[in-house]
Amino acid sequence: MGRYHIDITTRTFHFKEPAGTSRGVYLTRVSRFLHLTNDEMPGIVGVGECAPLPKLSCDDLPDYDTVLRRHCDDVCARGGIDVDSLRDVPSMLFGLETAWQQLHGGGSVALSDTPFARGEAGIPINGLVWMGDFDTMSRRMEQKLEQGFHCVKIKIGAIDFDDEIALISRLRNSYGSERVELRVDANGAFSPDEALERLQRLAAYDIHSIEQPIMAGQWDQMARLCQSPPLPIALDEELIGVNTLDYKRRLLDTIKPQYIILKPSLHGGMAGCREWIALARQRGIGSWITSALESNVGLNAIAHFAASEYGPEITMPQGLGTGQLYTDNIAIPLAIRGDKLWFVP
């Protein structure tokens, strides 16, 4: 096999609307793109996206570009990806995995051999309602329902909790659980002392699950919440930086969550997410896959990964509805029709 080469470019994307989380508001997003070629494969390029989330990713490093260049050079020199050497830099691993997959798939953006990749099946997704004031969130929620979503995920924790409860109550009064599945994402906004009472209040509205009710790193408190929760608990930020198999086993066996939510850019690339899924299945823990606000390049890779991992009969809505976030996204043949993401070959 000929020599590999990786060129790296950087691009800034601009959100159509401010993306509010409990940690602040995103207006722009910076991604690095890996362009992988091989001397013996002329005209074929594999593209991967490396997009760590500021102040969240375990590889949000001050010298990110230097470290990324070093890992790219290592992959080129060894002629392959050594997952163990990249466990601590999941966004870089994900970009390299995607570029490698595309190059060795002949340059096609159809990154799986699945009904999804052939345009025969869509992946069910949830509609995402970003944080904002009461009126803004109400308007966004109505838009998601008008677009045909049957599962809506609401970011909470940025405005007054009573206002958020009023918003959820209003939605539930208008749409029963048979019409709309509700998920909430607290992004660690509750304190351990108030979390149980807040979960009890939310449970009155037939919520499917709550993501990360308290800040990550409080295993004992999270384990107590998960023991007999008023509503199912899903771990997200808790999984960041938990990169070895032994560490993953210990986390799941200590906390015993009902669900885990996987983002390849944050949780070990696709290789690391496969490990999480296998360990969760062994323990009867559910999982689903979401993007981490990547451009369509990363979103496309994650969608094909989800189609491969969960098979053609995915019934659990995935968090893959982020392709319309940016004013200047990259064109990839993805389309949202109703409450499903489709690949259009």
What are the domain boundaries of the chain?
A: 4-103, 123-343
Q: What torsion do the CA atoms of 326, 143, 123, 179 make, to the nearest 10 degrees?
A: 160
144 included as an active-site residue: no
Q: Which of 144, 155, 248, 340 is catalytic?
A: 155
CATH architecture of 4-103: 2-Layer Sandwich (3.30)
Average pLDDT over residues 205-214: 97
Specify the fold of 123-343.
TIM Barrel (3.20.20)
Do the beta carbons of residue 211 and residue 190 sit within 8 Å?
A: no
Active site residue 256: no
Full-model pTM: 0.94
The rounded mean pLDDT for the chain is: 94
- Walk across the sheet containing 334-337 and list its strands: 123-124, 340-343, 334-337
What is the arrangement of strands in the sheet containing 4-21, beginning at the earlier edge strand? 4-21, 24-38, 46-50
Residue tagged active-site, from 144, 153, 248, 263: 263
Task: List the 207-211 sheet strands across, edge first.
Answer: 127-129, 151-155, 181-185, 207-211, 233-235, 259-262, 286-289
Query: Count of CB atoms within 10 A of residue 315's CB?
Result: 6
CA distance 289 to 277: 10
Structure-block tokens of residue 89: 């830099």
Predicted confidence at residue 20, as pLDDT, reads 64
Judge whether residue 142 has pLDDT over 90: no
What would the mean pLDDT of 42-49 be, rounded to a whole number? 98
Q: Which uninterrupted H or E stretch holds 317?
A: none
Please determine, for residue 108, whether its predicted confidence score (pLDDT) is greater than 90: yes
pLDDT in tens, 227-267: 999 999 999 999 999 999 999 999 999 999 999 999 999 99
